[in-house]
Amino acid sequence: MMKISHAIRIAVLALAALASVAFTSAARADEGFVQLTIYKAGWIIGGSGGTGVLTFRGRRYPLSTGGIDYGLVFGGSKTVLRGRVSNIYRPSDVAGVYGAAGAGIAVGRGARAIVLTNQKGAVLELSGHQVGLMANADLSGLAITLQ
């Protein structure tokens, strides 16, 4: 009888240890690296589109971007952004709609930095440069899709 209860205790402890390892590895979000090239143009209402790459767990995933801007939008620009994406569990978590309100002006070349969050909780921390002639004070949305 004592041998059976001792074996049950060992089995329960082993299952508990296995479950805790599985839970902590599944519950821990990871991060990756994102590079985006976004082209933007508009007059009052603007649009943007572009491409990019997500590097996550040693693999590269192609991305596409698109969005619209509404407010004071004038001009056209090309923005190249690089940075970190955090709080993701799989590559598809980076896909989604990111919203922002902002203002800025770029004549020639200017610096750009932004932090965005999507509906899945992915956080993009990006910086880079913008070239072109663009003035904006608008509400904008950026949709990122995994290709």
List Cα–Cα distances, 23 to 2, 54, 122, in angstroms.
31, 26, 20
Tell me: the pLDDT tens digits for 50-67? 999 999 999 999 999 998
Q: What is the dihedral of CA 91, 93, 95, 99, to 10 degrees?
A: -140
Give me the pLDDT at residue 25, please: 44
pTM: 0.72
* Cβ atoms < 10 Å from Cβ of 65: 19
8 in a domain, yes or no? no
| Domain extent at residue 88 | 30-146
The CATH number of whichever domain residue 48 belongs to comes to 2.40.128
pLDDT in tens, 77-107: 888 999 999 999 999 999 999 876 555 555 5
* Number of domains, the chain: 1
